[in-house]
Amino acid sequence: MSTQSASKTALITGANSGIGLELTKRLLNEGWTVIGLMRSQFPTNEPILQAAQTTGKLRSYQAELSDFGQLRTALQTIKQQETSIDLLFNNAGRSAERLLFSPQGRELSFELQSVVPYIIVMELKELLLRGQHKTIINTSSNALLTIKQFQLDQLEKPQNFKKLFGPYASSKLALSLWSQALAPQLEQEGITILSVCPGANRGSLKTNTGLPWWLRPVHGLLFKHPSTGAERLYSAAFNQQAFASGSFINKGKATALPAAQQAQAVLAKVHTIYQQAFVH
R_g of the chain computed on alpha carbons:
17
How far, in Å, CA of 89 to CA of 137, rounded?
Answer: 5
Residues composing the chain: 280
Mark 237-256 as b/e (b = at least 16 C-beta within 10 Å): bbebeebebbbbbbeeeebe
3-state secondary structure of 163: coil
CB-based contact 155:174 (threshold 8 Å): yes
- Specify the pLDDT at position 211: 56
- Residue 213: the pLDDT is 45
pLDDT reported for residue 1: 35
pTM of the model: 0.91
Give the pLDDT confidence score for residue 214 in this predicted structure: 47
C-alpha closest to that of 18 among 93, 81, 106: 93
pLDDT, tens digit only, all 280 positions of the chain: 334 444 799 999 999 999 999 999 999 999 999 999 999 999 999 999 999 999 999 999 999 999 999 999 999 999 999 999 999 999 999 888 889 999 999 999 999 999 999 999 999 999 999 999 999 999 999 999 999 999 999 999 998 888 878 899 999 999 999 999 999 999 999 999 999 999 876 554 444 455 554 445 555 556 567 889 999 999 999 987 899 999 999 999 999 999 999 999 999 999 999 999 999 7
Q: How crowded is residue 279: how many other Cβ atoms within 10 Å of its Cβ?
A: 10
Q: Which CATH architecture has domain 9-278?
A: 3-Layer(aba) Sandwich (3.40)
Residue 7: per-residue pLDDT = 72
**What pLDDT, on the 0 to 100 scale, is given for residue 2?**
38
Alpha-carbon distances, residue 235 vs 48, 142, 227 (angstroms): 22, 17, 12
- Element of type H or E holding 228: helix 226-238
What pLDDT was estimated at residue 87?
A: 98
Residue 96 makes CB contacts below 8 A (sequence gap 6+) with: 108, 109, 163, 167, 168, 210
Are residues 104 and 145 in contact, defined by beta-carbon separation less than 8 angstroms? no
In this prediction, residue 225 carries a pLDDT of: 76
Extents of the domains making up the chain: 9-278
Residue 235 CB burial class (10 angstroms; 0-12, 13-18, ≥19):
middle
State the pLDDT at residue 3.
42
**Widest CA span in the chain:** 50
Residue 143 DSSP symbol = G
